C-alpha cells in the first residue's frame, strides 16, 4: 500500500478527502493528517510517505513553502499534489519548479482525485522498476569488480569499488558453491544446468539478505563448472550466533531445502584482507581438482583436504617420479608396478594415513596437470583430471585407494598419449558424420570415445571447444532440426516423429522442443503451414 499524508488547515476538507474515495481499493493508505506546513514537516521527519496532498493556502507554512522545504532539504521524495482554489498559472509554475506531481483546483471531485491516484500509482510502479533496474546495474558493476579481485587481476579502481560498497572483516574465505554433477541425471542439458545455477544463485541471495553482494554468479567462467562464488566473512557467523562451520552447514542445509538441487561447497584457505582473496580462490581451484580422490562430502574444507604437513613428513618423491614416468610413456605394466611401489612406500614411511596419502596424491595430480599443460595449454586440464578421476571410480572402490589410483593412472596415460598425437585433427569430423548419420540411435560420448580411441574427458573438451556446447546438446540440436523438417514436410504424428529422431519419451521430446523453438511441435506445424 502507498502511504499518504493529507495536509489542510480546514478539518472538514481533511474529513472529506478521507471519505471521498476508497483509498484501500486504489492501493493507498492514509497514514497521517496535518493542519499546517510545520505539523507536516514534523511528521515527515519521523515518517516516510509516498504521496502528499497539501492545500496551497495555509497559515505559517503554505503548501508551496512546504513543497520547497522538503525538496531543498531532501526531507522526502514523495509525490506531491497541490490542492488550490487559485487557477493562477503563477502558482502552478512555482509548484512545477519544485517537482510537484500535479495541481488540483478545489472543490475536488471524486473522479478527479481517482485520476490523480491512478497516475501516482503508475509513476510509483515506474519508479520501482527504475530502482530495480538501477540496483541490478549497480550489482552487476560491483560483481565485475569483485570477480576481478577474486581472480587476482585487479587495480585500485576495482579494489576501492569493492571496499566502499561491501562490508568485510579480518577473517575471510572464498567459498565456491556449485552443482554436484555426480548426482545429476546424465541426460541433463547444459541449458538445464544453467537454469539450476540461476536458481541456486537466487536462493543464495535470499539467504544472505543484506550480505547478498557477497554472492557472485559464475566466478570461474569455466565451461563445466556451474558455480556461485561467496566471500565469507566471520562476522556473518558471529551475528547468527554460530561457529564458522555451523554457519556454512546451516547455509548448505538451506540451499538443499529451498533449491532442491544437489550441491557441494568448496571452502578455501583463510585470509586476512579482501585484497588477498585471490589466494583463497586459488586454493578452491586446487580443491576442485583433488576432490575426486576424496570421500564424497557436502562441504570440502581446504584446510583438511589439502594439508601441507609441518611435522617433517617427506613425500614419496622417488616413487611418484617413477609413476609419472610410466604414465608419460603409457606403459601399463610399468604403471601397475609403480602404483604398487607408491602405496608400499607410503605404508612403510608413515602408514597409509588419510593425510599422508592426500599429500602425496595432491603432488601427483599437480605434476600430471603440468605434463598435460605442456602438450595443450588451451584445454582445461583441472577439469580433465576431475572427469578422469570420476570415470575411473567405480562402486565398491574407496576414493583414493590403490585400485582407484591405478585405474586413473591407466586412463590418464592414454589421455597424454592422445594429446601428443593431436587426435583432435581428424576425429571430430568422423564423429560429426556419425552423429548426422545415426542421430536416432542411443549415441553416447563414452561409446564414441571408445570407438575412435579417444579419452572421453578429452573428447568432451574438444567438442565444446569446436561447437560451443556439450555433446548431448549438439545431438539434441541435430535431432530437433530433423524433427522440424518432418513436422513441415510430412503428416506423421508427433509421437512417430519423436521416435524417428531418437526420443522414446514423448513428454521429454515436447519439453525439449518447447525449450528450443518456443512452442509445442503441433503449434510449430500449424504456424509453418499457415
Q: Where are the alpha helices (DSSP H) in 291-331?
A: 302-305, 317-329
**Lowest-pLDDT choice from 68-72, 457-461, 501-505:** 457-461
Judgement on whether residues 416 and 451 belong to the same structural domain of the protein: no
The percentage of residues in the chain with a pLDDT greater than 70, rounded to a whole number, is 92
CA angle, corner 330, sides to 327 and 336, nearest 5? 65
* Domain containing residue 228: CATH number: 3.30.70.270
Q: Please, are residues 59 and 9 in contact by the beta-carbon 8 Å criterion?
A: yes
Q: What is the average per-residue pLDDT within 478-507?
A: 91
The percentage of residues in the chain with a pLDDT greater than 90, rounded to a whole number, is 45
- In a 10 Å sphere around its CB, with 0-12 CB exposed, 13-18 middle and 19+ buried, how is residue 70 labelled? buried
Cα–Cα dist 275/273, whole Å: 5
Q: Which of 255, 285, 305 is the last residue of a domain?
A: 305
Judgement on whether residues 431 and 518 belong to the same structural domain of the protein: yes
Contacts of 119 (CB under 8 A, 6+ apart): 101, 102
pLDDT of 503 above 60: yes
Q: What single DSSP character describes residue 398?
A: P
CA angle, corner 287, sides to 269 and 311, nearest 5? 65
Q: Which of 251, 272, 305 is the last residue of a domain?
A: 305
Judgement on whether residues 187 and 236 belong to the same structural domain of the protein: yes
Neighbours of 290 (CB within 10 A): 23
Judgement on whether residues 253 and 170 belong to the same structural domain of the protein: yes
* Domain containing residue 439: CATH number: 1.10.10.60
Cα–Cα dist 407/83, whole Å: 84
Q: 275 in the Ramachandran plot: left (φ > 0), alpha (ψ -120 to 50) or beta? A: alpha
Q: Which of 35, 30, 90, 101 minimizes the C-alpha distance to 67?
A: 101
**Lowest-pLDDT choice from 304-313, 356-365, 451-460:** 304-313
pTM over 0.85: no
Judgement on whether residues 222 and 270 belong to the same structural domain of the protein: yes
Indicate the number of domains in the chain. 4
Q: What is the average per-residue pLDDT within 137-151?
A: 92
3-state class of 77 per DSSP? Answer: coil
Residue whose C-alpha cell is 545415426: 438
pLDDT of 312 above 50: no
Domain membership of residue 406 (yes or no) is yes
DSSP 81-114: EEEES---HHHHHHHHHTT--EEEESSPPHHHHH
Average pLDDT over the chain, rounded to an integer = 86
Domain membership of residue 154 (yes or no) is no
* Domain containing residue 100: CATH number: 3.40.50.2300
Instruction: Label residue 406 by pLDDT band (50, 70, 90).
Output: very high
Domain membership of residue 132 (yes or no) is no
Q: What is the average per-residue pLDDT within 371-378?
A: 74
Write down the pLDDT at residue 181. 80
Q: What is the average per-residue pLDDT within 352-367?
A: 77
Q: What is the average per-residue pLDDT within 311-338?
A: 84
Edge-to-edge strands, sheet with 215-217: 215-217, 227-233, 172-179, 263-267, 299-301
Q: Which of 361, 388, 421 is the last residue of a domain?
A: 421
412-448 pLDDT per residue, tens:
898 888 777 765 556 777 788 888 888 888 888 888 8
Domain membership of residue 385 (yes or no) is yes
Judgement on whether residues 170 and 277 belong to the same structural domain of the protein: yes
Write down the pLDDT at residue 118. 94
3-state class of 424 per DSSP? Answer: helix
- Cis amide linkage into residue 443, ω under 30° from 0: no
Judgement on whether residues 180 and 297 belong to the same structural domain of the protein: yes
Q: Which of 151, 154, 199 minimizes the C-alpha distance to 174?
A: 151
Instruction: Label residue 40 by pLDDT band (50, 70, 90).
Output: very high
Q: Which of 381, 358, 357 minimizes the C-alpha distance to 370?
A: 381
226-283 pLDDT per residue, tens:
899 999 999 999 999 999 999 999 999 999 999 989 999 999 999 999 999 999 998 8
3-state class of 454 per DSSP? Answer: coil
Cα–Cα dist 398/294, whole Å: 9
Residue whose C-alpha cell is 536458481: 199
Cα–Cα dist 192/379, whole Å: 24
**Lowest-pLDDT choice from 23-37, 84-98, 393-407:** 84-98
Q: Which of 49, 16, 54 minimizes the C-alpha distance to 35?
A: 54
Judgement on whether residues 382 and 478 belong to the same structural domain of the protein: no
Task: Mark 402-419 as b/e (b = at least 16 C-beta within 10 Å).
Answer: bebbbbbbbbbbbbbbbb
Note down the domain range covering 99. 2-127
Q: What is the average per-residue pLDDT within 13-31?
A: 94
Judgement on whether residues 351 and 432 belong to the same structural domain of the protein: no
Q: Please, are residues 410 and 326 in contact by the beta-carbon 8 Å criterion?
A: no
Domain membership of residue 413 (yes or no) is yes
57-89 pLDDT per residue, tens:
888 888 889 999 999 999 999 999 988 876 655
Domain membership of residue 151 (yes or no) is no
Domain membership of residue 152 (yes or no) is no
Q: Please, are residues 158 and 366 in contact by the beta-carbon 8 Å criterion?
A: no
pLDDT of 308 above 70: no
Q: What is the average per-residue pLDDT within 365-382?
A: 76
DSSP 292-353: GGS---SEEEHHHHTPPPSS-----HHHHHHHHHHHHHT-HHHHHHHHHHHHHHHHHHT-S-
Judgement on whether residues 295 and 175 belong to the same structural domain of the protein: yes
Judgement on whether residues 296 and 347 belong to the same structural domain of the protein: no
Domain membership of residue 148 (yes or no) is no
Q: What single DSSP character describes residue 271?
A: B
Instruction: Label residue 207 by pLDDT band (50, 70, 90).
Output: very high
Pairing of strands 79-84, 102-105: parallel
Q: Please, are residues 212 and 225 in contact by the beta-carbon 8 Å criterion?
A: no
3-state class of 135 per DSSP? Answer: helix
Judgement on whether residues 111 and 212 belong to the same structural domain of the protein: no
Amino acid at each position: 500500500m502507498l502511504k499518504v499524508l493529507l495536509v489542510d488547515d480546514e478539518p472538514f476538507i481533511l474529513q472529506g478527502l478521507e471519505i471521498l474515495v476508497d483509498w484501500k481499493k486504489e492501493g493507498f493508505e492514509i497514514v497521517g493528517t496535518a493542519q499546517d506546513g510545520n505539523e507536516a514537516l514534523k511528521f515527515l521527519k519521523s515518517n516516510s510517505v509516498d504521496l502528499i496532498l497539501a492545500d496551497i493556502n495555509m497559515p505559517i507554512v503554505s503548501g508551496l513553502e512546504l513543497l520547497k522545504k522538503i525538496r531543498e532539504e531532501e526531507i522526502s521524495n514523495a509525490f506531491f499534489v497541490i490542492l488550490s482554489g487559485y487557477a493562477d498559472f503563477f502558482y502552478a509554475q512555482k509548484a512545477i519548479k519544485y517537482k510537484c506531481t500535479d495541481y488540483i483546483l478545489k472543490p475536488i471531485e471524486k473522479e478527479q482525485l481517482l485520476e490523480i491516484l491512478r497516475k501516482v500509482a503508475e509513476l510509483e510502479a515506474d519508479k520501482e522498476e527504475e530502482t530495480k533496474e538501477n540496483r541490478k546495474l549497480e550489482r552487476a558493476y560491483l560483481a565485475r569488480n569483485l570477480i576481478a579481485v577474486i581472480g587476482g587481476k585487479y587495480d585500485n579502481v576495482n579494489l576501492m569499488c569493492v571496499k566502499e560498497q561491501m562490508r568485510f572483516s579480518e577473517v575471510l574465505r572464498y567459498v565456491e558453491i556449485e552443482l554436484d554433477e555426480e548426482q545429476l541425471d546424465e541426460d541433463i542439458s547444459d541449458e538445464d544446468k544453467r537454469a539450476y545455477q540461476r536458481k541456486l544463485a537466487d536462493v543464495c541471495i535470499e539467504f544472505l539478505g543484506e550480505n547478498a553482494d557477497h554472492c557472485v554468479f559464475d566466478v570461474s567462467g569455466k565451461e563445466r563448472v556451474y558455480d556461485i562464488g561467496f566471500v565469507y566473512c566471520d562476522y556473518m557467523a558471529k551475528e547468527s550466533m554460530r561457529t564458522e562451520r555451523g554457519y556454512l552447514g546451516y547455509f548448505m542445509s538451506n540451499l538443499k531445502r529451498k533449491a532442491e538441487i544437489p550441491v557441494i561447497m568448496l571452502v578455501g584457505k583463510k585470509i586476512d584482507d579482501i585484497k588477498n582473496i585471490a589466494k583463497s580462490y586459488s586454493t578452491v581451484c586446487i580443491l576442485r581438482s583433488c576432490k575426486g580422490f576424496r570421500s564424497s562430502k557436502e562441504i570440502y574444507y581446504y584446510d583438511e583436504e589439502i594439508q601441507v604437513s609441518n611435522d617433517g613428513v617427506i613425500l614419496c618423491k622417488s616413487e611418484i617420479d617413477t609413476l609419472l614416468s610410466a604414465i608419460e610413456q603409457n606403459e601399463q605394466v610399468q604403471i601397475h608396478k609403480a602404483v604398487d611401489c607408491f602405496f608400499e612406500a607410503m605404508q612403510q614411511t608413515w602408514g597409509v594415513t588419510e593425510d599422508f596419502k592426500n599429500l602425496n596424491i595432491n603432488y601427483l595430480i599437480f605434476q600430471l596437470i603440468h605434463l598435460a599443460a605442456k602438450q595443450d595449454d588451451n584445454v582445461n586440464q583441472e577439469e580433465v583430471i576431475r572427469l578422469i578421476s570420476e570415470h575411473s571410480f567405480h562402486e565398491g572402490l574407496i576414493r583414493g585407494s590403490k585400485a582407484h589410483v591405478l585405474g586413473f593412472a591407466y586412463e590418464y596415460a592414454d589421455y597424454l598419449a592422445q594429446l601428443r598425437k593431436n587426435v583432435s585433427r581428424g576425429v571430430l569430423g568422423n564423429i560429426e558424420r556419425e552423429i548426422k548419420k545415426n542421430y536416432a540411435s542411443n549415441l553416447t560420448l563414452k561409446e564414441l570415445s571408445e570407438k575412435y580411441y579417444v579419452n572421453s574427458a578429452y573428447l568432451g573438451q574438444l567438442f565444446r571447444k569446436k561447437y560451443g556446447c556439450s555433446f548431448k546438446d549438439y545431438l539434441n540440436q541435430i535431432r530437433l532440426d530433423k524433427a522440424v523438417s518432418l513436422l513441415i514436410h510430412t503428416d506423421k504424428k508427433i509421437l512417430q516423429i519423436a521416435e524417428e529422431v531418437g526420443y522414446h519419451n514423448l513428454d521429454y521430446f515436447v519439453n525439449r522442443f518447447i525449450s528450443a523453438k518456443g512452442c509445442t511441435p503441433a503449434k510449430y506445424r500449424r504456424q509453418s503451414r499457415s
